[in-house]
Structure 1
């Protein structure tokens, strides 16, 4: 199974970064209020970036790197993926 790093844009304009094996299922958890505490009450949530990483260790390293980026850097990642993301 392939792990992925993802970015969500919350309804209040903030960004949330996480990792998951199944990004679509994890997004559904977030939307149902059963995901990360940070995303609860911040809907609607939109998946704006996803990057396949392979192993969990690689995904955790990439998540750490993304979380250290500035907001502008994260938005640039999201723009780089705009129109190229599939719903999976």
Structure 2
């Protein structure tokens, strides 16, 4: 069974990263205030990015990885600027 990692953009402009087996249901839960404490205080939210994964374990591992990324790196992923991701890594930053 497939799963998804997703990024929500909250009403305050912040991002929330999660994973789920049912993206449509999870998005509805977030927008109804039942998704997480974080998003319930920042409604409405919109789906900014999602990626299908082979399993929930893979999606959860990717979620945890993305949660450690900077805002700039998350924006690059959302905008499809995948070539920018290595440069935006903490190790790859210059200056």
Give the TM-score normalised by the residue count of structure 2.
0.81
Please name the residue that 1:31 is paired with: 31
Please state how far the C-alpha of 1:55 moved relative to its aligned partner.
Answer: 1.0
Which residue number corresponds to residue 85 of structure 2? none
Does the alignment pair 1:47 with 2:22?
A: no
CA separation in 1, counterparts of 2:43 and 2:33? 9
Larger radius of gyration: 2
Unaligned runs of 5+ in 1: 82-88
Residue 54 of structure 1, CA deviation = 1.1
Q: How many residues align?
A: 81
Structure 1 stretches of 4+ with a deviation exceeding 6 A read none
Q: Secondary structure at the match of 2:58?
A: helix
CA displacement at 1:40 relative to structure 2: 0.5
On the 8 A contact 2:3/2:52 being kept in 1, the answer is yes
1:1-88 matches, cutoff 5 A? 1-80=1-80
Normalised TM-score (structure 1): 0.87
Greater relative CO, 1 or 2 (CA 8 Å, sep 6+): 1
